[in-house]
């Protein structure tokens, strides 16, 4: 296995070519949710169905074994007298237990919370909450014996000031969180997904976060113990769309290992996106204001390793794009469309060998700054080259510094990691 990886890496180094375009997005395909559960849906396992009306209700379900199912529905509107659900489905895979369990929770009202803990393989969680100040926690897998692979967790929250967290361990798990903030200039929602590749086949995890409305936050952390090649994780953060903008949104994605992909899309103004990858053959993409209007967005990417690609596209004005890459055969691309009122800023820092930097800026008042340390680097800057109409371009600044380690010329300061507004 190791020799084949090295051979593939040698071929890539010999003829590397990046597409410089947006990659194909993935999707989590959810099975049909069982809205009207019946005992016959869980042949071979145990079955529990709880329906609670009013406020201040508690539900606790504990199931051990295989092919168990739990269905819970709660309705209440009092945030000071909240409803609570705890579901534990467990069993060690080596003992032919803890597999193919199913938990479905539906809560309507304010101040509700649910927690689901599953150990083993091929388990599923569906959780929906409508209202405000709700919390959801899903944990699949454990730190010890449970393998926890091929699990699925879906959380859907509609309202404001909601909090959703999904933790998955080991390999090939999928997590999806959807949050809709229906309040104007209200308190936003928080989405947190943590996935760890830690044993067995480790083919990688998938995490997708989707948020609508203002003041929302997405944090995704995918960690692999098999560096620099292990990983193969996929993270996607979507905030707003072409019809519903997302103001003051925050997105942070951190991945370790190789063959990882991170995508962040934000529509609107005053948004921030941070991406950090550690390993080989990773791809990071940020799209801000695609097919929309807005400004004052910030995107930052940090990659440590080789054969990585960083891509930022920003439409509008007064944006900032910062990229840092350390290693060999990396490529960074910044495309900024706009800047008619106030310009955009792009910064590219590269250390190592055979790295390429491309910056394209449209309109006027833009700043492009490239700092490359090492050998065989390439920098290409195009300003007012993206179809700017006559009389709207100009007043741009371009700075390029290229040097090797023997030159005592100081430019940009190397940071130990990308700026993190939030830590885990």
Which pLDDT tens digit goes with each residue over 273-287?
A: 999 999 899 999 999
Least confident of 239-243, 382-386, 412-416: 412-416
Task: Flag whether 205 is in a domain.
Answer: yes
Please tell me the distance from the alpha carbon of residue 39 to that of residue 113, in angstroms, as a whole number. Answer: 26
pLDDT digits (tens, 9 = 90+) for 221-265: 998 766 556 678 899 999 988 888 888 999 999 998 888 899 999
pLDDT digits (tens, 9 = 90+) for 278-332: 989 999 999 998 655 668 899 999 999 999 999 999 988 888 999 999 999 999 9
Assigned token pair, 265 = 């899309």
Task: Flag whether 241 is in a domain.
Answer: yes
3-state helix, strand, coil in the chain (%, to 5): 5, 50, 45
Assigned token pair, 56 = 């201040």
Please tell me the distance from the alpha carbon of residue 238 to that of residue 229, in angstroms, as a whole number. Answer: 27
Greater confidence (151 vs 340) lies with: 151
Assigned token pair, 228 = 């620099």
Find the domain containing 206 and state its range. 46-403
Task: Flag whether 389 is in a domain.
Answer: yes
Please tell me the distance from the alpha carbon of residue 107 to that of residue 75, in angstroms, as a whole number. Answer: 6
Please tell me the distance from the alpha carbon of residue 251 to that of residue 264, in angstroms, as a whole number. Answer: 7
Q: Dmax of the chain from CA atoms?
A: 75
Task: Flag whether 24 is in a domain.
Answer: no
Number of H helices, E strands in the chain: 1, 28
Task: Flag whether 399 is in a domain.
Answer: yes
Task: Flag whether 39 is in a domain.
Answer: no
Task: Flag whether 36 is in a domain.
Answer: no
Task: Flag whether 4 is in a domain.
Answer: no
How many structural domains compose the chain?
1
Q: How far does the chain reach from its first CA to its final CA, in angstroms?
A: 33
């Amino acid at each position: 296995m190791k020799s084949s990886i090295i051979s593939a890496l040698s071929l890539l180094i010999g003829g590397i070519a990046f597409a410089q375009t947006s990659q194909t997005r993935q999707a989590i395909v959810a099975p049909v949710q069982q809205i009207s559960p019946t005992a016959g849906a869980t042949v071979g396992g145990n079955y529990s169905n709880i329906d609670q009306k009013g406020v201040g209700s508690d539900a606790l379900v504990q199931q051990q074994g295989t092919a168990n199912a739990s269905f819970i529905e709660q309705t209440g509107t009092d945030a000071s007298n909240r409803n609570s659900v705890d579901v534990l489905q467990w069993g060690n895979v080596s003992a032919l237990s803890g597999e193919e369990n199913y938990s479905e929770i539906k809560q309507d009202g304010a101040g509700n919370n649910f927690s689901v803990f599953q150990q083993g393989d091929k388990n599923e969680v569906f959780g929906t909450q409508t209202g405000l100040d709700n919390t959801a926690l899903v944990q699949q897998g454990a730190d010890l014996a449970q393998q926890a692979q091929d699990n699925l967790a879906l959380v859907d929250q509609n309202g404001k000031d909601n909090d959703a967290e999904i933790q998955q361990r080991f390999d090939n798990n999928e997590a999806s969180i959807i949050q809709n903030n229906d309040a104007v200039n209200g308190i936003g929602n928080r989405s947190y997904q943590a996935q760890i590749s830690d044993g067995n086949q480790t083919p990688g995890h998938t995490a997708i976060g989707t948020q609508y409305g203002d003041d929302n936050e997405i944090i995704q952390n995918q960690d692999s113990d098999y560096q620099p090649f292990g990983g193969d994780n996929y993270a996607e953060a979507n905030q707003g769309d072409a019809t519903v903008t997302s103001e003051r949104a925050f997105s942070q994605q951190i991945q370790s290992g190789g063959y990882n992909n991170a995508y962040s899309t934000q529509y609107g103004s005053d948004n921030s996106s941070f991406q950090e990858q550690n390993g080989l053959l990773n791809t990071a993409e940020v799209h801000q204001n695609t097919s929309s209007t807005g400004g004052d967005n910030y995107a930052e990417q940090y990659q440590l390793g080789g054969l990585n690609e960083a891509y930022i596209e920003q439409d509008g004005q007064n944006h900032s794009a910062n990229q840092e890459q350390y290693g060999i055969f990396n490529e960074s691309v910044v495309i900024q469309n706009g800047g008619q009122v106030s310009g955009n800023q792009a910064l590219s820092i590269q250390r190592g060998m055979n790295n390429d930097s491309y910056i394209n800026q449209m309109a006027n008042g833009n700043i492009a700054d490239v700092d490359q340390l090492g050998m065989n680097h390439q920098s290409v800057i195009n300003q007012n080259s993206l179809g700017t109409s006559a009389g709207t371009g100009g007043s741009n600044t371009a700075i390029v510094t290229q040097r090797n380690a023997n030159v005592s010329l100081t430019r940009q300061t190397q940071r130990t990691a990308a700026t993190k507004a939030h830590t885990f």
